[in-house]
Amino acid sequence: MVIRNTSCGRDRPTGSPLTPRARRGRLARRTWGSQLGSIAVTLSALVAVCAALPPAGVAAATLPEQWTVTSVDITTPAGAQQLAPVAMNDAGHVLFRDGQKDEAFLWSPAAGMVQIEVPGSTQLFPHALNNHDQVVGVRTILSGPDTTVDSWVWSPEAGARLLAAPQGWAEVWAVNDAGQIAGGLYDDVNHTGPQPTRWEPDGTVTRFESPFPGSAVAIGLDGTIAGTWNDNGAGTAFVARDAKAVTPTAGVGLGRHPSVSDQDEVPMTTSGLAQWRATGTRRWPGTGLVDLTAGSRSGLILGGHITTAVGLPTVSGSFVWDPTTGSTTELSTALAPHAIGSAIDRAGAVVGVSLQELGGRTTFEGTFWSATNQAVALGATTSPALMNDHHQVVAFRDDRFVLLQLDLLAPPPSPPDSTTTTTSTVTTTTMAAVPASPASSAVGASPRFAG
């Protein structure tokens, strides 16, 4: 059985100067889901009722939590062919890119789908979104055999402006809530780059000395950057903040979704998993091949066990590692034998899919794992992509994207029940979570995931 990870990845810079054609290939983003066609999605009300009882033998202390799940349809832009979610902020606003038309959009419940305009662009590649609705990305201008590449920052109020790139061009990958932007600068005069760079809101450009080409691909609240450089094919992760030079770490990569926590902690890959801190590096105590899926703003790390059973590396199950306590918690397999996470919030809640093989084919169920590792079924036609720190989830359901809001009811009713409230634009469903069995939690599990 081949189990493929369903999260939205992004290719990261390799650190080598690029030809115009290679630049276009490098900037191409991976699309998410199948082609949607030309669909004008109307808001609909879907009625669903779901209740789950705890497994036999589970103590009363682990009675299922009760969650309400409110679904709001995200209207697809007319003519969109390959719409893919790129990022979501804590307000539930979602950054999208259409891979077919090379366009970018910002969606919010109030304003709907707003197209991002960067005048003169042929292609737009949005990369990041902060909590002030600032978007950063790269654009290309195609003119015959020539390609011009620029980086930009955009907001609904100010529109778009290009970022300074002395003697060359820039690629940008991340923006924090202070408006600081992380990326890399290419020098077309000396044919060097990229060089790790940070742009300040006032336009100041800070270049960080690096022994090899590399870009900053993540940035923390205080401007700490993280990235990787390329030493003749060998990757090395680096961190920098105030000093002009980057600091190499024990890591060789930053995973598929590079991040810097609010405490300036950086998840990275070594021979396994590790977390860089200014006071030292903490290493995951487990063994075997692992995938660094994502890091949370609180420092928790979502990882995956990699198997090569059919010759292709795939994730067969996910876990949450708490570097502070050293504990590892396997995601509950109460819904299916394989629990695959794609995003994690600061409390340790995870969203992803539960997978199983039935009749020679693999089936999946969209799943939310609460901070206590209880599994909430989101539907067999729901594929979660992103989650913020307020239990808001962007998912692909049936033929459209939806924004799901999960809210915990407290105290949970006993016995668990299920109710549904429907309006013309949203659906609210009360669902009973399935507590994890003792076998689904690793020895030494954090109290955050007890139960």
- Phi first, then psi, for residue 8 (nearest 5°) are -90, 110
Which pLDDT score, from 0 to 100, does residue 31 have?
35
Q: pLDDT value at position 64? A: 84
Per-residue model confidence (pLDDT) at position 63: 72
- Exposure string of 249-259, with b = 16+ CB inside 10 Å and e = fewer, is bebeebbbbbb
Alpha-carbon distance of 325 to 7, in angstroms, equals: 27
pLDDT at residue 236, rounded to an integer: 92
> What is the block-wise mean pLDDT of the chain (451 residues), using blocks of 10 residues?
33 39 42 30 27 36 83 91 95 96 95 95 96 97 85 96 93 98 94 94 94 95 94 87 87 94 96 94 94 97 89 86 97 96 98 90 94 95 96 95 93 47 45 64 39 31
Measured between its terminal Cα atoms, the distance across the chain in Å is: 30
Whether the Cβ atoms of residue 369 and residue 355 lie closer than 8 Å to each other? no
Q: Which is it for strands 361-369 and 350-358: parallel, antiparallel or unpaired?
A: antiparallel
| CB within 8 Å of 143: residues ≥ 6 apart | none
Q: 160 with 177: CB under 8 angstroms?
A: no
**DSSP at 413:** P
Q: What pLDDT score does 264 carry?
A: 96
Other CB atoms within a 10 A radius of the CB of residue 313 amount to 12
CA dist 178 and 279 (Å) reads 25
- Would you state the torsion angle of the CA atoms of residues 115, 116, 122, 127, taken in this order, to the nearest 10 degrees? -120
The neighbouring-strand residues paired with 115 are: 105
Tell me how far apart the alpha carbons of residues 102 and 121 are, in angstroms, rounded to a whole number.
10
Q: What is the pLDDT of residue 50?
A: 33
> What pLDDT sits at residue 434?
76
Confirm if 235 and 268 have CB atoms less than 8 A apart. no
Q: How does DSSP classify residue 76?
A: P
pLDDT, residue 81, reads 84
Q: What is the CA radius of gyration of the chain?
A: 22
Residue type, 285: P
Token pair for 167: 């003697």
CA dist 95 and 108 (Å) reads 9
How far is the CA of 43 from the CAs of 38, 76, 88, 423, in angstroms? 16, 11, 20, 10
At a CB cut-off of 8 Å and minimum separation 6, what does 443 contact? none
DSSP secondary structure code for residue 163 in this structure: P
Q: Does the reported pTM lie above 0.85?
A: no
pLDDT for the residue numbered 437: 65
